[in-house]
Chains A and B, each alone.
Chain A
Amino acid sequence: MHTPHRTNPHPQMPANLLTAGISGAMLGIVFGLSFGSLWLGLPVGILLGLALGYRFTVTPPVMRYPVRLVRAIFLAGAFCMMAIFVFMRLLRAGWTGSRALLAGLLPALAWALLVCLLAAAIASLDEMQRRIQTEAIAIGFAGSAVVAGGYGLLGIAGVVQVNWGLMVLVMALMWLAGKLWTMWRYR
């Protein structure tokens, strides 16, 4: 008797769900501990991670990133957040001087790893998608420079207290805006 051969339409699904689930759990722990509710943060983080992993697998993004690299970026991003969180906790626990410097290396290394993975992901794209990303980075850099300049001057004038976390967020948003703009241009 002939049995029909079924092929799995999403062979990457288990690995993607596992990676996204672990990343979500890490972020859930960070947010849970930050806001004093680990038992809420952890399941919410895992569920959000799984949902994102499922969505990514079923509907892959327009950019043709290798799936392995995307999984590595997910983990590195979550590791980065966790490293920053641990660093802040250690500072609050009274780590100063050379110990604080050593503790500061942990998020810096995680950040460097994330940047390297992002660069590898962009290098793996086709020529037009690489151009979109490069132009988006250029727009993001120019926009961030303008905002950082104005924000820094306001800080010197004593109008605002400079928050570097906010600047990272601005950089990310500027990159996103640049990407949307260039994707629209080459639509």
Chain B
Amino acid sequence: MKNRLKELRAGRGWSQAELAERLDVSRQTVNALETGRYDPSLPLAFKLAALFGCRIEDLFQPEEPPRPARA
């Protein structure tokens, strides 16, 4: 999953540790989220979206665009 976390965090001038504190997770988790090695749970994704004031799909995009459903 691709995401814009690093870009949005940098835009607010926060360090990874600051973001981690706001989300109540570890800095290790923020780093793994930013590098795309870990996809968050829905509650954490909602928390991120609320923190950055956007929708979840504005934050996370799938690596490949979803295929249209067959009729």
Q: Are B38 and A63 in contact (CB under 8 A)?
A: no
Residues of A contacting B26 in the complex (Cβ-Cβ under 8 angstroms): 62-64, 125-126, 128-129
Interface centre among A127, A128, A187 (most CB of B within 10 A): A128
- B: contact size bracket: 10 to 19
Question: Least Cβ distance of A64 to chain B in Å?
Answer: 5
Residues of B contacting A63 in the complex (Cβ-Cβ under 8 angstroms): 26, 28
A5 close to B (CB within 8 Å): no
- A: contact size bracket: 10 to 19
Residues of B contacting A62 in the complex (Cβ-Cβ under 8 angstroms): 26, 28
Known contacts: A186-B32, A187-B32. The answer to whether A128 contacts B24 by CB under 8 A is no
Residues of A contacting B40 in the complex (Cβ-Cβ under 8 angstroms): 127
Question: Least Cβ distance of A4 to chain B in Å?
Answer: 25
Q: Are B25 and A186 in contact (CB under 8 A)?
A: no
Digitize A42-71: 1 where CB-to-B-CB distance is under 8 Å, 0 elsewhere. 000000000000000000001110000000
Question: Least Cβ distance of A1 to chain B in Å?
Answer: 35
Digitize B9-50: 1 where CB-to-A-CB distance is under 8 Å, 0 elsewhere. 000000000000000111011011101011011001000000
Query: In whole angstroms, what is the CA distance A107 to B3 when docked?
Result: 49
Residues of A contacting B32 in the complex (Cβ-Cβ under 8 angstroms): 128, 186-187
Residues of B contacting A187 in the complex (Cβ-Cβ under 8 angstroms): 31-32, 35, 37
Residues of B contacting A2 in the complex (Cβ-Cβ under 8 angstroms): none
Query: In whole angstroms, what is the CA distance A125 to B28 when docked?
Result: 12
Question: Least Cβ distance of B14 to chain A in Å?
Answer: 17
Q: Are A126 and B25 in contact (CB under 8 A)?
A: yes
Closest 3 CB pairs of A and B: A126-B25, A128-B29, A186-B32
